[in-house]
Amino acid sequence: MKEELLDALGLNDKENVVPTNYVVLKEEQLIDMHASTIKKEAIASLSQFQVKKEASSDTPNTEETVTPLIKELEELNRANPNPKKQVKIEELKVVNNDFVTDRTLDTKHNKETVAKPKLSPIKKVSLKRSGSSSLDFFNTTFKKPTRRLPPSQSIATPASPSRVTNKQEFNEAQRAIINYVVNKEESVFFTGSAGTGKSYVLRYLVQQLVKKHGGPSVGVTASTGMAAINIGGETLHKYLHIGLGVQSPEAMAKKLERIREVKNKWDKLKVLIIDEILMIDGKLFTNISELASIMKKNKKPFGGIQLVCSGDFFQLPPVSRDNRGHFCFQSPVWASVIKRTITLTEIFRQKGDTELIDMLNALRQGEISDDIMMKFKLLLRRINYSDGIEPTELYPTRQEVKRANESRLHELPGQVYSFFAIDSQVPQLIRYLYDYLMCEKVLELKVGAQVMCLKNNIIPKVVNGSIGTVVGFVTDPVWTKLKLVYGYVNFENASSELLSLIQLVCGMVGRPEYTDEQRAIYASLPSNLRTDFAKVAAEAKNVDSKAERLPLVKFRTSNGYTIDIVPRVEFTVEPKPMQLRKDDKMTRIQIPLTLAWAMSIHKSQGQSIDRLRIDLRRTFEKGQVYVALSRATCKEHLEVFNFDRRKISVSEEVKKFYDLLKNRQKGILEVNAELMS
């Protein structure tokens, strides 16, 4: 039975490094072997550990990290019934933050002898067990060691990496991805439901891989232009220069080898990253592997290139010319190149809203029970917000989004302000790349328009994705003067009186005469605001009528809202197209705003939307309903109209694929239980 289970899970494969005799070892032998390994690795780690008198603040307390290892060995000794087999731990050194001391431990008599302290420079060392340990397939338990997962299997909560250290915060599974990709250079597919931090990890991987191998050796790609922009890359087709990818691998290789720059690019390529792998057709995946083998003159899958794939196959189907696309995991190449699959399970986007997480998981898998159905029905309502910022509506197509936003803008009274982008001079051949930028070629706004910020670090507390309302248009000098004159006033969570003053100033820019309405607004202001108003009014009235006025936006923030001017900024097409000269860049200078009453589902991927409205009467592809609803951060700000579970469809192939991943993990646990029985 044990061997059958192992064969079924691929654990008896000759490529796996687990000795078969581990299966029949007695419990005492397992404990003894496991303890010996811990002891050796602890001694090896401690032999490298050097500390100095003045320890830096970020150095870990070594006594806190070493002591658990010693305690673990003592627990193993107690668990082992054979005294002769118990582990001797006298050689271990205990290290504190100030000294390295030779303390000989005598656990039997609870004594210690201390040698002369030695001072030496600090060197931070990981005390975690190495992923390459001979007992890598055993979890750290005292009485019943369990078998760990081999490299070719799927895992849900992998071990932490032992060598990657960084200042960013990652959970255990995310750290494992970084370890296997960066340190062990394995080909990895990592997946997980929406909001589990896939993009967050991928951006860090890009940074580390470029640092390790150099930019030209790392291909940063995605299946769509929008996804590529999000990670600072380009589409897979564009990066590999394969056009539509419909030719045979041999024909594509023959064409590419004639272009010196392209051939050099392939020669340098060591790592290929593909984000949103779900939208790459399985046949194309196979063809690219064969093309890579030709270009790299290497018969291995993908020519020996390390592959890093990310995405959730439950979200959107692959794109193919005949609309009969196959998923990448159905390609015969997939199993031979992807040696490790890691599933991210901790959800960050809806963290704390467990009910919404359960609803979205049911939606993702197409398993809508009566209870889940009723919970979605309860979201059928309109929510009114006191700050006037409305929910963002998601639509399946860009045309629907354009119509919805233009319609809402047209309904607003007042003047339209048009902002034309300033694009750098680039060859006509590559100008289409501007379409992948989030910013518009021509941005049209009015007072009252709902907008989304497209850049970080422009305004304090305002980030990419922040929603706000345009309250006016003003020149930069006038806004600077207003803030200088009223510097004693807090522009965060501004009072209604201050907001009226700001709008009054905006209306006076470039206009020498007061209107009756403006006089009435001025008269209604409190005396403290009227006192210094003349200084700002003089600046506003003297502005040239042709001077560009920038949008002044009231943005919603984590603790209320803030008001500030939004300047033009530079958007850069990355990576730089090879058609440009060495010192040239492909840039667009534009106001980093877009109308935000409506947004396309594709453009929303990777976004967290605090206030969301979805009408499911519209036509949605497989997975689109889940993608749309999973943008929400909490059900309190989610409105769902016309929810009908008959319209929720999930690919059976995808369900089987994820069931297989889940069952593999379950099977590993069953093998562990069988081993210990």
Q: d(Cα 527, Cα 512) in Å, to the nearest integer?
A: 23
Q: Is 197 annotated as a binding residue?
A: yes
Alpha-carbon torsion angle 219, 221, 225, 228, nearest 10: -90
Contact 241, 295 (CB under 8 A): no
Q: d(Cα 610, Cα 385) in Å, to the nearest integer?
A: 12
DSSP state of 181: I
Paired tokens of 485: 């004159």
With 0-12 / 13-18 / 19 or more C-beta atoms within 10 angstroms meaning exposed / middle / buried, residue 629 is buried
DSSP state of 166: -
Q: d(Cα 556, Cα 78) in Å, to the nearest integer?
A: 59
Residue 387 one-letter amino acid: D
Q: Is 198 annotated as a binding residue?
A: yes
165 assigned to some structural domain? yes
Cβ neighbours of residue 263 under 8 Å, at least 6 residues apart?
Answer: 256, 257, 295
With 0-12 / 13-18 / 19 or more C-beta atoms within 10 angstroms meaning exposed / middle / buried, residue 214 is exposed
Q: Is 193 annotated as a binding residue?
A: yes
Per DSSP bridges, beta strands 306-310 and 271-275 are: parallel
317 assigned to some structural domain? yes
Contact 95, 48 (CB under 8 A): no
3-class secondary-structure state, position 560:
strand
Same domain, 131 and 25: yes
Cis? peptide before 477, omega within 30° of 0: no
Contact 359, 378 (CB under 8 A): no
Paired tokens of 84: 């002769």
Cα angle for residues 119, 123, 125 (degrees, 5° grid):
125
Cis? peptide before 575, omega within 30° of 0: yes
Same domain, 308 and 168: yes
Paired tokens of 576: 């730089």
600 assigned to some structural domain? no
From 329, 344, 359, give the residue that closes a domain.
Answer: 344
Q: Is 192 annotated as a binding residue?
A: yes
570 assigned to some structural domain? no
Q: Which residue has the tokens 């309904």?
A: 411
Same domain, 339 and 204: yes
301 assigned to some structural domain? yes
At 666 the pLDDT is 61
Q: d(Cα 620, Cα 644) in Å, to the nearest integer?
A: 12
What is the chain's Cα-based Rg? 30
Q: d(Cα 59, Cα 97) in Å, to the nearest integer?
A: 8
Same domain, 131 and 272: no
349 Ramachandran zone, left/alpha/beta (phi>0; psi -120 to 50): alpha
Q: d(Cα 161, Cα 184) in Å, to the nearest integer?
A: 10
Q: d(Cα 605, Cα 131) in Å, to the nearest integer?
A: 34
Using H for helix, E for strand and C for coil, what is the string for 42-111?
HHHHHHHCECCCCCCCCCCCHHHHHHHHHHHHHHHHHHCCCHHHCCCCCCCCEECCCCEECEEEECCCCE
Same domain, 170 and 317: yes
Single out the residue of 565, 554, 600, 536 nearest to residue 405, CA to CA.
600
Same domain, 337 and 301: yes
Residue 545 one-letter amino acid: S
With 0-12 / 13-18 / 19 or more C-beta atoms within 10 angstroms meaning exposed / middle / buried, residue 244 is exposed
Q: Is 196 annotated as a binding residue?
A: yes
Q: d(Cα 384, Cα 366) in Å, to the nearest integer?
A: 31
3-class secondary-structure state, position 26:
coil
Cα angle for residues 294, 296, 299 (degrees, 5° grid):
60
Q: How many domains does the chain have?
A: 3
Single out the residue of 307, 313, 364, 384 nearest to residue 340, CA to CA.
307
From 91, 119, 146, give the residue that closes a domain.
Answer: 146
Same domain, 55 and 140: yes
435 assigned to some structural domain? no
Contact 39, 89 (CB under 8 A): yes
Contact 650, 316 (CB under 8 A): no
3-class secondary-structure state, position 141:
coil
* CATH number of the domain enclosing 302: 3.40.50.300
197 assigned to some structural domain? yes
Same domain, 88 and 173: no
Residue 207 one-letter amino acid: Q
Q: d(Cα 86, Cα 487) in Å, to the nearest integer?
A: 73
Same domain, 268 and 177: yes
Single out the residue of 622, 618, 621, 614 nearest to residue 598, CA to CA.
614
Same domain, 138 and 164: no
From 291, 320, 344, give the residue that closes a domain.
Answer: 344
Q: d(Cα 70, Cα 66) in Å, to the nearest integer?
A: 7
Q: Which residues pair with 95 in a beta bridge?
A: 100
Q: d(Cα 528, Cα 540) in Å, to the nearest integer?
A: 19
DSSP state of 588: E
Q: Is 465 annotated as a binding residue?
A: no
Same domain, 127 and 224: no
Contact 536, 522 (CB under 8 A): no
* Alpha carbons within 13 A on the beta-carbon side of 529: 21
E strand or H helix at 207: helix 198-213
Q: Is 673 annotated as a binding residue?
A: no
Same domain, 180 and 129: no
CA distances for 29 relative to 8, 21, 144, angstroms: 26, 11, 11
Contact 498, 488 (CB under 8 A): no
3-class secondary-structure state, position 31:
helix
Give mean pLDDT in consecutive 10-residue pieces for the chain, a chain of 677 residues.
38 36 37 48 43 39 47 58 54 36 38 37 34 33 37 34 51 92 95 86 94 94 80 86 88 92 94 93 94 95 96 80 75 92 84 83 88 93 87 88 93 94 82 79 95 86 86 91 80 81 87 81 85 85 85 86 91 71 81 92 78 83 83 90 85 88 65 47
Single out the residue of 440, 438, 396, 401 nearest to residue 418, CA to CA.
440
At 33 the pLDDT is 45
525 assigned to some structural domain? yes
3-class secondary-structure state, position 306:
strand
CA distances for 199 relative to 25, 248, 351, 651, angstroms: 43, 32, 17, 23
At 667 the pLDDT is 57
Which residue range is the domain that position 110 belongs to? 19-146
Paired tokens of 667: 């099977």
Alpha helices in 351-495 (DSSP H): 354-364, 370-377, 398-411, 476-485
Q: Is 596 annotated as a binding residue?
A: no
Contact 453, 464 (CB under 8 A): yes
